[in-house]
Amino acid sequence: MTTELWLLAGTVLLGLVQIGLASTAAKQVTGIAWSIGPRDRPIELTGLAGRLDRAQRNLMESLPLFAVAVIVAHLGGRNGWLTELGAHLYLWSRIAYVPAYALGVPWVRTAFWQIGMIGIVLILAALF
């Protein structure tokens, strides 16, 4: 398996960890009854629970783009230093993004998000 595919698998693992963190934090705000119920009444999560939820949803927005870029590069035989660098940038910036967002660090969080997007662009650049 290529490094890029391992980094994609690592990103999926990160997604699972983020779902767990966001879910656990949300239960502390909403209580178990809301979590196991039909959730007919939406609850706005605030504080740490809200930030972890938004960080997790943000990963889920960009993960399909990253996954498709990695898979297309792999299937097209375009893997190389550029795709490997891009995949590393994406995963490690997304890992750093979680505590930056959870702690509410404004500019740092945005910088990590941008580094992740640069990672995707690098992978796409290798296709051309």
Threshold 0.75, pTM exceeds: yes
The CATH fold of domain 3-127? Four Helix Bundle (Hemerythrin (Met), subunit A) (1.20.120)
At 75, list the tokens: 């299937």
CA distance 29 to 99: 19
32-53 pLDDT, tens per residue?
877 777 878 888 889 999 999 9
Domains of the chain, residue spans: 3-127
Report percent pLDDT > 90 for the chain. Answer: 82
Average pLDDT, the chain: 95
64-84 pLDDT, tens per residue?
999 999 999 999 999 999 999
